[in-house]
Structure 1
Amino acid sequence: MLKKTIAQLDPYVPETPLADLEAQTGVTKITRLSANENPFGTSPAVQAAIQGFDFSSTRLYPDGDANALRQAVAEQLGVDPQQLLFGCGLDEVIELTARTFLEPGDEVVEPWPTFSEYKLHCQIEGAQVIDVPLAADGSFDAAGLATAVTPRTKLMWLCNPNNPTGTYTPLAEMRQLLRQIPESVLVLIDEAYMEFVTQENGSAVQLLREFSNIVVMRTFSKIYGLAAMRVGYAVIPKNLISAMQAVRLPYNLNSISQVAALAALNDTAFVAQMRQRVATARTQFAGFLDAQQMTYCRSQANFIFFSAPRAADLHQYLLMHGYLLRKGLRPGWLRLTLGSEADNAAIQNLIKAFYQSAR
């Protein structure tokens, strides 16, 4: 009946719709800061592009190769357009990767904690996932990752900046790590949050010419504010792209999403503004946590991962005051998506009030 790998699988649990959560809790308005969404919206150019869309064309199938978007992304990244694989969000790209390369008994190495969908799709294919704990500061344990590789290792997942810690591995350190990994292991570098990096905006795209065994992934869900449009993509080695395209479903990216993503990509001023606003909020919130003597990971993403005494109670307290954070990623820790200036200030006041009331 069921595949053996499915029978005891823990599914990925998506965010509860806010209307449902408000009805469950009785809280009139809840601001979701648990999904790393862009609180500032999306480029006005996206709305204009969608409003200008020819809706009479909806009777036709979309461009199955997303050619206009493909050419624009390739030009921005400086890669061959034929190396690009587009998916319905990075979720589909992750699924396609596992489906294309993994067989029962294969091993996959990943740092832990990291984005849980890597493990989910590896387990569906019957692969064994080897978790290598992160270093104390939330960064990759490069030596541990390299040591975990065996002759059975097929893939390695590296989320950079990492989710949920937000920690960023600079390009030079990434290069050193890749040099320790056999060419027979395909290294998937998920850069969903790379556009938020201000420390050193060095993408692994620059390493594609040096290493033939890496895949670099990006998404329009985060800094571009297009989470609802579901557009993700990966830059694939030329010798592997045809196999992954064969597995990909045809017409997996709808026409409106393609139009929206192209408009968002071209509005570089909006992206720069988002990067600066998030960086300012990130610095300010880190200063608050320092002042409260709370432990956290040094983030280069649009979220902060912090240790909180009585984390479950704090999570519930914030929820009942209208703010949803992410819990359960590591015992005693919470992940906060950086919000508007007003929301960040309100949450900081609530955190102080929670701990003062506990004294």
Structure 2
Amino acid sequence: MYKVVASINDVGIVKVPLIVEDGAFQLDVDAVIAAATGDSAVKVIWLCSPGNPTGTILREADVRRVLDSGFSGVVVVDEAYVDFVRAERGESYARLVAEYPGLFVMQTMSKSFGLAGIRLGVGIGGREIVSYLNRAKAPYSVSSLTLDVAKDALSDEGIQKMRSVVTSLQAQRDEFLIPQLRLLPSVGAILGGNDGNFVLCRFVDGNGNASNEIAKRVYTEMAQNRGLVVRYRGSDYGCEGCLRVTVGTADENKLVIDTMRSVLSQAK
């Protein structure tokens, strides 16, 4: 989406691919710093933690290196999926805002709160950055109806409900969906850090090579004939042969696994 929005607004972009390490995805810190500090036209560094479809929370040491690099612009960390990260894996970088004036952290109520319909995001930054954003934003950009829903969701009861849902999804992800996907024929690996509310799985051919053909066939059959939509991500960098499967309820996850198994069995 960043590329799309940049193109709409005639803004140039510089891409720095992630490093794939043991099936996860992390920053190429040296390349990010070189790209950002070597070109005075670069004003913003965008980092996603966890990323989509990588599902990997970024290492704090790497994020701090970027922040300490001398880059004079703004470093934005998109944390849309941060609530799904296990505590032992990491936490939000919002706690670093007071330490780094150039850091701006974005979160949303669309994922863990299940409130995509209200289209409300949250920006966390220092006084200076927030002041500039307030000057640039449209007047009355958030409706009173949206704010009423958000206030209810952020009440003690609402937070408790959100955390309960997140705990359930984490358990379904780690204890059912990932193990069951690994048992499916043609699934060669589970990629990413599995820190989001989805799982990235790679399909392979008989020689163990990543297969976009198999992934596309599973995706197409499920979407067109089985009424289930997973995301084909085989065209993304480092994601050859991959589908992204959203974590749902126990019944929904079982249905996805059973459907995938049926599709793969028929393909043989």
After TM superposition, the score normalised by the length of structure 1 is: 0.63
The residue that corresponds to 2:208 in the other structure is none
**How many residues get paired?**
242
Letter of the 2:221 counterpart:
Y
- The answer to whether the Cα contact below 8 Å between 1:168 and 1:300 also exists between their aligned partners in 2 is yes
Structure 2 gaps of 5+ residues are 204-210
The residue that corresponds to 1:261 in the other structure is 150
Secondary structure of the residue that 2:128 maps to in structure 1? coil
Is the counterpart of residue 191 in structure 1 residue 75 in structure 2? no
In the TM superposition, what is the alpha-carbon distance from 1:154 to its structure 2 partner? 0.8
Is the counterpart of residue 346 in structure 1 residue 230 in structure 2? no
In the TM superposition, what is the alpha-carbon distance from 1:200 to its structure 2 partner? 3.4
The residue that corresponds to 1:134 in the other structure is 18
- The answer to whether the Cα contact below 8 Å between 2:199 and 2:247 also exists between their aligned partners in 1 is yes
Letter of the 1:335 counterpart:
R
The 1-side partners of 2:76 and 2:132 are apart by 16
In the TM superposition, what is the alpha-carbon distance from 1:353 to its structure 2 partner? 2.0
Secondary structure of the residue that 2:145 maps to in structure 1? helix
The residue that corresponds to 1:145 in the other structure is 32
Secondary structure of the residue that 2:57 maps to in structure 1? coil
Letter of the 1:278 counterpart:
L
Q: Could you tell me which of 142, 162, 168 is aligned with 1:277?
A: 168
Secondary structure of the residue that 2:101 maps to in structure 1? coil
In the TM superposition, what is the alpha-carbon distance from 1:285 to its structure 2 partner? 1.4
- The answer to whether the Cα contact below 8 Å between 2:98 and 2:126 also exists between their aligned partners in 1 is no
The residue that corresponds to 2:266 in the other structure is 357
In the TM superposition, what is the alpha-carbon distance from 1:231 to its structure 2 partner? 0.9
In the TM superposition, what is the alpha-carbon distance from 1:164 to its structure 2 partner? 1.5
Letter of the 2:246 counterpart:
T
Secondary structure of the residue that 1:138 maps to in structure 2? strand
The residue that corresponds to 1:245 in the other structure is 134
The residue that corresponds to 1:118 in the other structure is 2
Letter of the 2:227 counterpart:
G
In the TM superposition, what is the alpha-carbon distance from 1:201 to its structure 2 partner? 4.4
The 2-side partners of 1:274 and 1:201 are apart by 19
Q: Could you tell me which of 160, 164, 176 is aligned with 2:53?
A: 164
In the TM superposition, what is the alpha-carbon distance from 1:184 to its structure 2 partner? 0.7
Letter of the 2:79 counterpart:
E
The 2-side partners of 1:171 and 1:288 are apart by 31
Equivalent residues in 2 for 1:1-359 (5 A)? 117-136=1-20, 137-149=24-36, 150=38, 151-180=40-69, 182-198=70-86, 199-266=88-155, 267-283=158-174, 284-292=176-184, 293-295=187-189, 296-308=191-203, 309=211, 310-319=214-223, 320-328=225-233, 330=236, 331-359=240-268
Give the 3 Å change call, closer, same or farther, for CA 298–243 of structure 1 in structure 2.
closer
The 2-side partners of 1:254 and 1:186 are apart by 28
- The answer to whether the Cα contact below 8 Å between 1:170 and 1:200 also exists between their aligned partners in 2 is no
- The answer to whether the Cα contact below 8 Å between 2:27 and 2:62 also exists between their aligned partners in 1 is no
How large is the RMSD of aligned CA atoms in angstroms?
1.8
The 2-side partners of 1:220 and 1:321 are apart by 30
Structure 1 gaps of 5+ residues are 1-116
In the TM superposition, what is the alpha-carbon distance from 1:185 to its structure 2 partner? 2.2
- CA deviation string 1:112-154 (max 9, x = no partner): xxxxx21122223333211111222223222322222223221
The 1-side partners of 2:12 and 2:218 are apart by 35
Secondary structure of the residue that 2:163 maps to in structure 1? helix
Higher relative CO (CA 8 A, sep ≥ 6), structure 1 or 2? Answer: 1
Name the % identity: 26
- CA deviation string 1:324-358 (max 9, x = no partner): 11225525322211111111111112222222222
- The answer to whether the Cα contact below 8 Å between 1:183 and 1:212 also exists between their aligned partners in 2 is no
- CA deviation string 1:149-177 (max 9, x = no partner): 22322111111111121111143442233
- The answer to whether the Cα contact below 8 Å between 2:215 and 2:242 also exists between their aligned partners in 1 is yes
In the TM superposition, what is the alpha-carbon distance from 1:178 to its structure 2 partner? 2.3
- The answer to whether the Cα contact below 8 Å between 1:138 and 1:165 also exists between their aligned partners in 2 is yes
